[in-house]
Amino acid sequence: MQVTSSVREPLVTGGKSYHDVTHDVSRQVEGKPSLSWFLAFLTAAGVLGLGSIALIATLWEGIGMWGLNKTIGWAWDITNFVWWVGIGHAGTLISAVLLLFRQKWRTSINRAAEAMTIFAVICAAMFPVIHMGRPWLGAYWALPLPNTFGSLWVNFNSPLLWDVFAISTYFSVSLVFWYIGLIPDFATIRDRATGLRKTIYGALSFGWDGAAKTWMRYESVSLILAGLATPLVLSVHTIVSFDFATSVIPGWHTTIFPPYFVAGAIFSGFAMVLTLMIITRKVFKLEDYITMGHIELMNIVIIITGSIVGIAYITEFFIAWYSGVAAEQYAFINRATGPYWWAYWSMMTCNVISPQLFWFKKIRTSIVATFILSLVVNIGMWFERFVIIVTSLHRDYLPSSWAMFYPTWADIGVYLFTFGLFFTLFFLFAKFFPVINMAEVKSVLKSSSEKAAK
């Protein structure tokens, strides 16, 4: 039973009817691409093209194109990997966890958030492959495939192998979940379309007939997938954090990493969702669906996860001191005061201090402030991974091997490549797929729109 409360803020504003919802969302798909879309898409594709020069150079010449060295074996590659995986967390969290908790406000943002998840995971998954010395072999040797190499098998002790499973599971479940959610909306578009478009969207909608039984199955599948996806939200970044936590390197060997990484991932994921949503609602004029209420709620999630991350940073320091392990203590003092102090303090400022500004209602309900802070948070989260990876490695146990890391043009280029890829895919999605889950929004319309309630 839906209960309409006059006290509660409506989830969809503007007094939209069911038809309005369909129309507002579908017209983006059906209309001609706007000039602004074209410009944005071409920019993204251009960045993709530029970045691919760096990517090809790396694949052709070798990993030596990057700034890595004998002491620092991972830097931007794994930083970018963890960063993109982190960003890919919000989508599933919003659609699965919030679905289970019956948070209705999720309906208008889950589609785009999930799409973002999938594209971010694609960008992330690229790094473990291209960072290999021999990706042409590693791309399939890292999988437990039966082979003719003798009794060769993968090493199940290795956290990198767990990563392979974690990322691929997360990606497939997210993809299936996202696609299932798209089916009723594809059917809506199919029903409105003619000609070739009808055929394509017809194929995409898998013969959706809108029958009560179909809807029932749809809801069951959504619930089952949400149930499956929820542990994944926690497991993916937990396993990514094992790459570091199970090692012996001071600054990596830390038991706090799993919850700390998960909180950080949700933190950065929400920030990225905000960044994209603020642009999307503006460009596609969806202010009535993605309301200030949504933005504020997401900002609250950012305060919470940001604070968790902040506490984790402080706890790390405390434990380094409390453990009495000299190498650990040095690693943390070096983070704050060593040659990479600027990275550490960028991270602290962006991740711990800046989200606290959202305690002010004025700031968390300001579009501009939210947009800026969402960018700041993602910069901070990139630095967090850089700090963990590079500053821990650059000065570990034997001072004779201490070194610095300087990125090369190829490091930057490959990072740009992933940006290009992400935004190219996102703009394609925004144009050709319904960016808001029409079916689910309609289900909350009754409780939030007077017109629909009639």
- In the complex with another protein, the residue whose CB is nearer, 97 or 325, is 325
Query: Alpha-carbon distance 352 to 364, whole Å?
Result: 16
Ramachandran sector of residue 27 (left: φ over 0; alpha: ψ -120 to 50; beta: rest): alpha
Quickly count helices (H) and strands (E) in the chain: 20, 0
Per CB under 8 A, which region of 3-11, 83-91, 148-156, 294-302 contacts another protein?
A: 148-156
Contact 225, 173 (CB under 8 A): yes
Residue 57 burial (CB < 10 Å; 0-12/13-18/19+)? Answer: middle
CB of 53 to another protein, least distance (A): 18
Interface pattern 202-241 for another protein (x via CB under 8 A)? ----------------------------------------
Angle between helices 212-245 and 257-283 (to 10 degrees): 130
- In the complex with another protein, the residue whose CB is nearer, 5 or 155, is 155
Given 97, 161, 228, 319, the residue binding another protein (CB under 8 A)? 161
Helix/strand/coil for 363: helix
Given 53, 57, 63, 375, the residue binding another protein (CB under 8 A)? 63
CB of 174 to another protein, least distance (A): 23
Query: Alpha-carbon distance 98 to 102, whole Å?
Result: 6
CB of 403 to another protein, least distance (A): 5
Q: For residue 138, state whether it binds another protein (rule: CB under 8 A).
A: yes
- In the complex with another protein, the residue whose CB is nearer, 155 or 194, is 155
- In the complex with another protein, the residue whose CB is nearer, 245 or 430, is 245
Q: Which residues 237-296 are close enough to bind another protein by CB under 8 A? A: 243, 246-249
CB of 137 to another protein, least distance (A): 5
User: Hey, what are 208's tokens?
Assistant: 């959706």
Query: Alpha-carbon distance 350 to 377, whole Å?
Result: 5
Interface pattern 322-351 for another protein (x via CB under 8 A)? ---xxx--x--xx--x--------------
User: Hey, what are 215's tokens?
Assistant: 């809807």
Using the structure block, give the residue that is written with the tokens 């990706």.
Answer: 135
Diameter of the chain measured on Cα atoms: 76
Question: Which of the 8 DSSP states describes residue 144?
Answer: -
Q: What phi, psi does 106 have (nearest 5°)?
A: -70, -25
- In the complex with another protein, the residue whose CB is nearer, 206 or 406, is 406
Q: For residue 157, state whether it binds another protein (rule: CB under 8 A).
A: yes
Q: For residue 171, state whether it binds another protein (rule: CB under 8 A).
A: no
- In the complex with another protein, the residue whose CB is nearer, 131 or 190, is 131
CB of 381 to another protein, least distance (A): 21
Contact 226, 100 (CB under 8 A): yes
- In the complex with another protein, the residue whose CB is nearer, 161 or 428, is 161
Which residues contact residue 257 at a Cβ distance below 8 angstroms, ignoring those fewer than 6 apart?
A: 241, 242, 244, 245
User: Hey, what are 67's tokens?
Assistant: 């700034």
Q: For residue 159, state whether it binds another protein (rule: CB under 8 A).
A: yes
Contact 234, 54 (CB under 8 A): no
- In the complex with another protein, the residue whose CB is nearer, 58 or 305, is 58
Contacts 24+ apart (CB under 8 A), 155-162: 159/239, 159/242, 159/243, 159/246, 160/128, 160/243, 162/239, 162/242
Question: Which of the 8 DSSP states describes residue 10?
Answer: P
Query: Alpha-carbon distance 443 to 18, whole Å?
Result: 9
- In the complex with another protein, the residue whose CB is nearer, 142 or 309, is 142
Using the structure block, give the residue that is written with the tokens 């706007």.
Answer: 34
- In the complex with another protein, the residue whose CB is nearer, 3 or 398, is 398
Q: For residue 160, state whether it binds another protein (rule: CB under 8 A).
A: yes
- In the complex with another protein, the residue whose CB is nearer, 128 or 355, is 128
Binding residues for another protein, rule CB under 8 A, total 54
Given 45, 97, 122, 154, the residue binding another protein (CB under 8 A)? 154
CB of 168 to another protein, least distance (A): 13
Given 5, 133, 146, 213, the residue binding another protein (CB under 8 A)? 133
Given 45, 53, 97, 135, the residue binding another protein (CB under 8 A)? 135
Q: Alpha carbon 18 to chain centroid distance?
A: 31
Which stretches of the chain bind another protein, using CB under 8 A?
A: 61-64, 67-71, 73-74, 128, 131-135, 137-138, 141-142, 152-155, 157-161, 164, 243, 246-249, 325-327, 330, 333-334, 337, 393, 395-404
